[in-house]
Structure 1
């Protein structure tokens, strides 16, 4: 299994490094503290996030969502022998519909939104090279199928600027979601993307408090921090 994981990551341009890293250790402590037993991995790509959580010792339920056909095939391989890891070949958004996703050369920068020049100049390997038709569903439409009443749920959203759209489709489910981890841009990298300050305010109004920050995307030329991961926790459980 370990060799398969390494092959998948190397094939897709990822460097194998020693774990645990500080962010992963802290995240695992947080998930243990809040008794998380169901993790929705939204924007799973080839399973990098889920594999990292498994490596850190999280053995409970993971439900991954990945719309890209090629990435989903790799996700199948990564999750094949893991019976508590379920995978789905569609995106999550603000409505149940179909759309077109822009496929990036590096796969994981693919987005429904158009990429801004600031992103492309910081990471030329992320340029769009194709388009693909995908299905989109709301969290509210699928939540009860995967999350039983009383489960402690965390969602991780890595959808390249589309994070607010995902949250807009979860208005009926947020009461049952303890923790939200999502990618936030310091300044927009995709058209119509919400910045980190706007997202903090948006989630504050939804009853979530910023709990932690993780390192994100840095400009490979200038060293400028472009993105961070924000982890938000329901205020009433703090």
Structure 2
């Protein structure tokens, strides 16, 4: 026996209304315009105005998810891989937040607030404390955070000592306390010219109590993206690094900055602090050779994971 819903759908075309049945209980109703409906998996459909234009859907293993691809999306394999890695990294990080009960993220090297925004889009609602030392980026960061009461921002960098220093600016998202390496200058034209800005640097252990103030049973996570300076930030935590349940650091396979540690050295230092790798995602990759330049390395303190029944 037909439902009332189904009978209504069948009647509507008599009144000049186009009806496209998408899935059980779901329909597209329109008075004009041509739509193409393409299956995108069980009980899921793509609705496209006009011709489909080469859209396809690809199952992601046995996860139940499907990737929607347009005819141009696979033309630049490197660009597609980098976009997918960024999404998967943030998805993995927020999954680790839920597993480990993370309730405060220290976002070191926040730039314009891109990382915090991605966390919010993926569902993290806990406290974020962002640190950005350069004036121009900090102004944009402050603007981004102004309507989020659980997102604090601080105009300083973090490092091994409480001090001031000169940072190279004008390199967009790649401003660094370290000079560009020969490899970096060959790869990026932005490194060919530079100016410096004096910034304030604080130790992580000097700001941690303020960052965690008011949180019952804090479970902090440390994110570092400081263009070759992450180990200096880490060193500034001192004994308080033991308070963190996890971290994320940009580690280099091919060094863009003079004096930055190689990936092996950085990962070894984090492992010595009790962290273990849960995910590794390419950040940049050479177009000519396919070599990965940098990875986002996600590590958690396994002993901090909640006990399971």
Q: Residue 199 of structure 1 corresponds to which residue in structure 2?
A: 266
* Equivalent in 179, 183, 207 of residue 118 of structure 1: 183
- After TM superposition, the score normalised by the length of structure 1 is 0.87
* Equivalent in 218, 222, 240 of residue 155 of structure 1: 222
- Unpaired runs of 5+ residues, structure 1, are 1-16
* Larger Rg belongs to: 2
Q: Deviations over 1:147-203 (max 9, x none)?
A: 146211001000000011001100121111010100000132211111111111111
Greater RCO between the two (CA within 8 Å, min separation 6)?
1
Tell whether 2:147 aligns with 1:81: yes
C-alpha deviation, 1:234, in angstroms: 1.4
Tell whether 2:190 aligns with 1:130: no
5 Å-filtered alignment, 1:60-71, equals 60-71=126-137
Describe the shift of the 1:204–1:35 C-alpha distance in structure 2 as closer, same or farther (beyond 3 A): same
C-alpha deviation, 1:126, in angstroms: 4.7
Q: Deviations over 1:36-75 (max 9, x none)?
A: 1100000000000001111111111000000010000100
C-alpha deviation, 1:23, in angstroms: 2.1
- Unpaired runs of 5+ residues, structure 2, are 1-82
**Deviates most, 17-26 or 114-123:** 17-26
Given that residues 109 and 126 in structure 1 are in contact (C-alpha distance below 8 angstroms), is that contact kept between their aligned partners in structure 2? no
Given that residues 91 and 134 in structure 1 are in contact (C-alpha distance below 8 angstroms), is that contact kept between their aligned partners in structure 2? yes
Tell whether 2:283 aligns with 1:225: no
- Let me know the Cα RMSD of the aligned residues: 1.9
**Deviates most, 209-218 or 179-188:** 209-218
Q: Residue 98 of structure 1 corresponds to which residue in structure 2?
A: 164
Q: Secondary structure at the match of 2:197?
A: strand
Given that residues 156 and 199 in structure 2 are in contact (C-alpha distance below 8 angstroms), is that contact kept between their aligned partners in structure 1? yes
Q: Residue 186 of structure 1 corresponds to which residue in structure 2?
A: 253
CA distance in 1, matches of 2:247, 2:173: 20
**Deviating 4+ runs (over 6 angstroms):** 17-20
CA distance in 1, matches of 2:219, 2:151: 16
Q: Residue 48 of structure 1 corresponds to which residue in structure 2?
A: 114
Q: Secondary structure at the match of 2:245?
A: strand
C-alpha deviation, 1:233, in angstroms: 1.2
Given that residues 116 and 190 in structure 1 are in contact (C-alpha distance below 8 angstroms), is that contact kept between their aligned partners in structure 2? yes
- After TM superposition, the score normalised by the length of structure 2 is 0.68
Given that residues 85 and 282 in structure 2 are in contact (C-alpha distance below 8 angstroms), is that contact kept between their aligned partners in structure 1? no
Q: Deviations over 1:88-135 (max 9, x none)?
A: 000000000000000133x21000011102122223235442100000
Given that residues 89 and 279 in structure 2 are in contact (C-alpha distance below 8 angstroms), is that contact kept between their aligned partners in structure 1? no
Given that residues 86 and 281 in structure 2 are in contact (C-alpha distance below 8 angstroms), is that contact kept between their aligned partners in structure 1? no
Given that residues 92 and 279 in structure 2 are in contact (C-alpha distance below 8 angstroms), is that contact kept between their aligned partners in structure 1? no
